[in-house]
């Protein structure tokens, strides 16, 4: 009689590793700083929401100011991911690529959810001190965004790329701020159309000049 081979139970999948305290702090800061403002969120409330202790926070971040700067760097990475997504869909059409971002922003800004504009813009308003870590991150980001807008404007063939870039940036910042005032149905819903008309007028003017030469 053949011996039965004892069945071996399949190994249980390893349990998910608990999130590190620093990760929980960053995720909580991302949520609370954006929704309530950086200055309004105290360290006690933040660690309570994150389920960590104050010593855990200060082992990972030297101060609340440094945590604020870290939050903004994370936010900036999210921003560029959204901003450049259109370039993957329309690699040879800078106008269409930019419109992907503007269309998405108009939808987010006009929603009834907790949209509070751009966290980097908000931080620049909260912290006027030029040497504050949070403001330095915000200012550097906006300078890079202005440069990127100018690159896109040149790629579109604008007659005055710098002026078009600044005009688009003004529309963008206006959408960030006005969405917090008007919410659903506010002027931010017209951002794509307004930006499209500005782009087309600038490019058309250059095309007209070429025809007249």
Q: What's the rounded mean pLDDT across residues 82-110?
A: 95
The reported pLDDT for the residue numbered 205 is 55
The reported pLDDT for the residue numbered 212 is 36
CB 72 within 8 A of CB 138: yes
Whether the predicted pLDDT of 48 surpasses 60? yes
Statement to judge: residues 90 and 171 lie in one domain: yes
187-207 tens-digit pLDDT:
999 999 999 999 999 997 555
The reported pLDDT for the residue numbered 7 is 52
Residue 11 lies in a domain: no
DSSP 130-146: TT-HHHHHHHHHHHHHH
The reported pLDDT for the residue numbered 6 is 52
Model-wide pTM > 0.75: yes
Q: What's the rounded mean pLDDT across residues 160-174?
A: 97
Residue 165 lies in a domain: yes
**Between 119-126 and 21-36, two packed helices, what is the crossing angle to 10 degrees?**
80
Q: What's the rounded mean pLDDT across residues 27-31?
A: 97
The reported pLDDT for the residue numbered 16 is 39
Total structural domains within the chain: 2
The reported pLDDT for the residue numbered 98 is 98
Residue 3 lies in a domain: no
Residue 6 lies in a domain: no
Statement to judge: residues 149 and 89 lie in one domain: yes
Domain that residue 79 falls in: 65-212
The reported pLDDT for the residue numbered 18 is 54
Statement to judge: residues 133 and 200 lie in one domain: yes
Tokens of 86: 């259109």
204 vs 117: CA distance, rounded Å: 31
Statement to judge: residues 55 and 70 lie in one domain: no
CATH of the domain at 29: 1.10.10
Residue 34 lies in a domain: yes
Q: Which residue has the tokens 């991911």?
A: 81
The reported pLDDT for the residue numbered 110 is 81
Statement to judge: residues 109 and 162 lie in one domain: yes
CATH of the domain at 152: 1.10.357.10
Q: Of the residues 8, 28, 61, which one is the last residue of a structural domain? A: 61
The reported pLDDT for the residue numbered 114 is 82
Residue 117 lies in a domain: yes
134-164 tens-digit pLDDT:
999 999 999 999 999 999 999 999 999 999 9
Whether the predicted pLDDT of 44 surpasses 70? yes
How much is the mean pLDDT over the chain? 89
DSSP the chain: -PPPPPP-PPPPPPPPPPPPHHHHHHHHHHHHHHHH-TTT--HHHHHHHHT--HHHHHHH-SSHHHHHHHHHHHHHHHHHHHHTHHHHH-TT-HHHHHHHHHHHHHHHHTSSSS--S-HHHHHHHH---TT-HHHHHHHHHHHHHHHHHHHHHHHHT-TTHHHHHHHHHHHHHHHHHHHHHH-TTSGGGGHHHHHHHHHHHHHHHHHHHHHH-
Number of other residues whose CB lies within 10 A of the CB of residue 180? 16
């Amino acid at each position: 009689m053949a011996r039965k081979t004892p069945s071996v139970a399949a190994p249980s999948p390893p349990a998910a590793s608990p999130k590190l305290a620093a990760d929980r702090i960053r995720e909580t800061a991302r949520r609370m700083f954006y929704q309530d403002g950086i200055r309004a969120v105290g360290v006690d409330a933040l660690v309570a929401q994150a389920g960590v202790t104050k010593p855990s926070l200060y082992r990972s971040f030297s101060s609340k100011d440094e945590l604020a700067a870290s939050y903004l760097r994370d936010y900036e990475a999210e921003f560029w991911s959204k901003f450049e997504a259109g370039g993957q869909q329309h690699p040879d059409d800078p106008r269409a690529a930019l419109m992907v971002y503007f269309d998405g922003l108009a939808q987010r800004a006009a929603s009834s959810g907790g949209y509070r504009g751009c966290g980097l813009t908000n931080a620049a308003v909260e912290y006027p001190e030029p040497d504050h870590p949070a403001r330095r991150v915000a200012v550097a980001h906006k300078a890079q965004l202005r440069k990127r807008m100018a690159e896109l404007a040149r790629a579109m063939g604008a007659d005055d790329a710098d002026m078009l870039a600044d005009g688009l940036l003004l529309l963008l910042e206006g959408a960030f701020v006005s969405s917090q005032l008007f919410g659903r149905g506010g002027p931010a819903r017209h951002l794509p159309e307004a930006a499209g008309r500005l782009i087309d007028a600038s490019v058309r003017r250059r095309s007209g000049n070429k025809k007249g030469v």
